[in-house]
């Protein structure tokens, strides 16, 4: 068997011909027993527990690979630098490794007995890798099992989506969706009010203690107060509990209880949340009805100012722009799940392309926050897997401006690698200048600049003159940034290293 190279190597890609899994539910972990069942590999468990779940494969010949492990790995090693088996195994367990695969020959004729004892003592599964089995074959087998598991989960989620959509088209859509959701998850689905009162329920009845725990969890996400989380999970007596706030602002909560939790269950629940948010919206009071009427009238061509009174009771609005952190396009279901997490069904998924997902939701929080990354802004919290740009609360008559502010905030968040950034109108001393005069001054000052040059200068100034971050934010090369900024300086006949000049240009770019 070839000796793996010293140091660490990243996980191997799937075997040729293996399709890349599309975005969707997380890949389920692979039971160790499935890998051991592949007879061609000849793997044999010789120590540690039989039960383990693998998230990926990693190869390392370092004496201490702890700094390079994320947890859940099947670590493959030929023991090139193995000197202290007990300490080595302890570090793997501390790092969260799922199992150790030890290759025999040519470094070691057999698996060292001290290593076997250490794995037994510390509860780490130990696999013997025969000489004829390359580590690459093991990695490819794990990737193949992962691809198969992910495809099975995607098919399950797709079937659930179709079943839930069919249920939503029935004459009694809310009970039908809950019934189908309970069937898909193998548990109980309950629609509750903020006070814990049951509106509809489906699935197996719960013991009183478990039902009480589910009701308490639902109150955690009920949106009766600012800052309530969009979802929460818990366990009670072996039953997995979860609760999701529905959009609409009236405190309705979808609560779920199931005996087991699969990797795609959160995705299935997210689909149900979107459907139930839309289905329940007409029954959530006069405010929701007024908002729906206002949106319909605007879609039919009414002047926003004419429908603003219908939205007055709902307060101001926020525009949110969002992109997937990993750069993958967001399909309608993924975008809908984000909207459900933020408490809105008003989502534009950008047609699944690279465009940002745009959301519209009732605004909260104080006016006038500066552009900055925040852990939480106006009741909006960072969402795992997303980068968000949020506008300030704005009236419906100024949504165009809020849309631009949200786009600017998203650019800033991406450049600074922050999960969330908020933009807002100018405040402080700049707010003392009448808007009309400020806009006229900005147009005159920036007249020599084309739109791409002005956008580059605005981004560069917002990032304190950092070339690399500006290049990342705009998706261009840093040399292009330098050329554009230099061109701006020449066209404006201005020294861009002068702070007074920068301040005046920033004022103009913000008000122009």
pLDDT tens sequence across 136-176: 999 999 999 988 888 888 888 888 888 888 888 776 678 88
Task: Judge if 375 and 465 occupy the same domain.
Answer: no
- Read off the pLDDT of each residue in 337-342 and give the average, rounded to a whole number: 72
> Does 290 reside within a domain?
no
Task: Give the model's pLDDT for residue 428.
Answer: 54
Last residue in a domain, options 148, 180, 201: 148
Q: For the chain, how many structural domains are there in total?
A: 4
> Does 414 reside within a domain?
yes
Kindly tell me if the per-residue pLDDT of 311 is higher than 70: no
Task: Judge if 278 and 180 occupy the same domain.
Answer: yes
Task: Tell me the two tokens of residue 357.
Answer: 């997902």
Instruction: Quickly state the pLDDT bin for 1 (edges 50, 70, 90).
Output: very low
> Does 95 reside within a domain?
yes
> Does 310 reside within a domain?
no
Q: Rounded to whole angstroms, what are the CA distances from 262 to 104, 148, 334?
A: 36, 15, 18
Task: Judge if 143 and 176 occupy the same domain.
Answer: no
Which CATH number characterizes residue 472's domain? 1.10.10.2840
Residue with tokens 């009309």: 436
Percent of the chain clearing pLDDT 70 (strictly above): 75
Highest mean pLDDT among 12-16, 225-229, 280-284, 425-429: 225-229
Task: Judge if 69 and 96 occupy the same domain.
Answer: yes
Task: Judge if 21 and 136 occupy the same domain.
Answer: yes
Task: Judge if 263 and 192 occupy the same domain.
Answer: yes
d(CA 275, CA 167) in angstroms, rounded, equals 10
For the question of whether the overall pTM of this predicted structure is more than 0.85, the answer is no
Last residue in a domain, options 425, 458, 487: 425
Residue 378 contacts residue 364 (beta carbons within 8 Å):
yes
Percent of the chain clearing pLDDT 90 (strictly above): 24
Q: Cβ–Cβ contacts within 10 Å for residue 384, how many?
A: 7
Helix axes 435-446, 499-511, angle to 10 degrees: 120
d(CA 114, CA 84) in angstroms, rounded, equals 9
Kindly tell me if the per-residue pLDDT of 87 is higher than 90: yes
Instruction: Kindly report the backbone phi and psi dihedral angles of residue 57, in degrees, each rounded to the nearest multiple of 5, phi listed first.
Output: -120, 140
Among 119-123, 307-311, 389-393, 456-460, name the one with the lowest average pLDDT.
307-311
Show Cβ contacts of residue 273 under 8 Å, excluding neighbours closer than 6 positions.
244, 246, 247, 254, 337, 340
d(CA 168, CA 274) in angstroms, rounded, equals 11
> Which residue range(s) make up the domain with 225?
170-283
Task: Judge if 448 and 412 occupy the same domain.
Answer: no
Preceding omega of 106 cis (within 30 degrees of 0):
yes
- Read off the pLDDT of each residue in 21-27 and give the average, rounded to a whole number: 51
Task: Judge if 143 and 12 occupy the same domain.
Answer: yes
> Does 66 reside within a domain?
yes
Residue 141 contacts residue 114 (beta carbons within 8 Å):
no
Kindly tell me if the per-residue pLDDT of 446 is higher than 50: yes
Kindly tell me if the per-residue pLDDT of 90 is higher than 90: yes
Instruction: Quickly state the pLDDT bin for 350 (edges 50, 70, 90).
Output: low
Count CA within 13 A, CB hemisphere, residue 216: 9
Express each pLDDT in 66-79 by its tens digit.
999 989 999 999 99
Which CATH number characterizes residue 207's domain? 3.30.450.30
Instruction: Quickly state the pLDDT bin for 351 (edges 50, 70, 90).
Output: low
Task: Give the model's pLDDT for residue 338.
Answer: 77
Which CATH number characterizes residue 54's domain? 3.40.1390.20
Task: Judge if 121 and 176 occupy the same domain.
Answer: no
> Does 288 reside within a domain?
no
> Does 303 reside within a domain?
no
Kindly tell me if the per-residue pLDDT of 348 is higher than 90: no
Task: Judge if 143 and 174 occupy the same domain.
Answer: no
């Amino acid at each position: 068997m070839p000796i793996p190279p010293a140091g660490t190597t990243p996980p191997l890609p799937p075997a040729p011909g293996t399709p890349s899994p599309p975005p969707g539910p997380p890949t389920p972990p692979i039971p160790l027993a499935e890998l051991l069942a592949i007879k061609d590999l000849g793997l044999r468990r010789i120590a540690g527990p039989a039960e383990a779940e693998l998230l990926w494969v990693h190869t390392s010949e370092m004496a201490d690979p702890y700094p390079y492990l994320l947890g859940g790995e099947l670590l493959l090693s030929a023991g090139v630098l193995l000197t202290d088996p007990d300490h080595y195994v302890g570090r793997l367990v501390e790092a969260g490794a799922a199992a150790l695969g030890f290759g025999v020959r040519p470094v070691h004729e057999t698996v060292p007995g001290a290593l076997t004892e250490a794995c037994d003592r510390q509860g780490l599964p130990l696999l013997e890798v025969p000489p004829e089995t390359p580590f690459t074959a093991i990695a490819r087998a794990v990737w193949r099992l992962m691809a198969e598991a992910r495809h099975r989960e995607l098919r399950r989620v797709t079937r659930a989506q179709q079943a839930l959509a069919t249920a939503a088209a029935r004459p009694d859509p809310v009970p039908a969706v809950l019934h189908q959701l309970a069937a898909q998850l193998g548990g109980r689905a309950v629609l509750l009010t903020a006070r814990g009162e049951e509106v509809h329920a489906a699935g197996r009845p719960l013991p009183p203690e478990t039902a009480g725990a589910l009701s308490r969890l639902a109150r955690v996400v009920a949106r009766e107060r600012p800052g309530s989380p969009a979802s929460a999970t818990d366990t009670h007596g072996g039953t997995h509990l979860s609760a999701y706030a529905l959009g609409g602002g009236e405190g309705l909560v979808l609560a779920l209880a199931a005996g087991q939790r699969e990797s795609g269950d959160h995705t299935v629940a997210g689909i149900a949340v979107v459907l139930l948010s839309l289905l329940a919206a007409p029954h959530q009071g006069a405010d929701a009805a007024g908002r729906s009427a206002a949106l319909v009238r605007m879609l039919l061509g009414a002047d926003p100012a004419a429908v603003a009174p219908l939205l007055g009771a709902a307060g101001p609005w926020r525009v949110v722009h969002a992109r997937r952190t990993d750069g993958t396009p967001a399909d309608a279901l993924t975008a809908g799940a984000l909207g459900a997490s933020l408490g809105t069904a008003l989502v534009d998924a950008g047609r699944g392309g690279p465009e940002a997902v745009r959301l519209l939701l009732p605004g909260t929080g104080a006016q006038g926050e500066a552009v900055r990354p925040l852990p939480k802004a106006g009741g909006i919290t960072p969402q795992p897997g997303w980068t968000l740009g949020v506008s300030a609360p704005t009236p419906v008559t100024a949504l165009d401006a809020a849309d631009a502010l949200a786009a600017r905030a998203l650019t800033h968040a991406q450049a600074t690698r922050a999960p969330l950034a908020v933009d807002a109108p100018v405040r402080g001393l700049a707010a003392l200048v009448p808007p009309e005069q400020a806009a006229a001054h900005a147009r005159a000052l920036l007249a020599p600049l084309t739109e791409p040059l002005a956008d580059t200068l605005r981004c560069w100034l917002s990032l304190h003159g950092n070339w690399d971050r500006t290049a990342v934010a705009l998706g261009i090369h840093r040399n292009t940034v330098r050329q554009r900024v230099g061109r701006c300086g020449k066209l404006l006949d201005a020294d861009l290293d002068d702070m007074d000049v920068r301040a005046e240009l920033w004022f103009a770019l913000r008000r122009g």
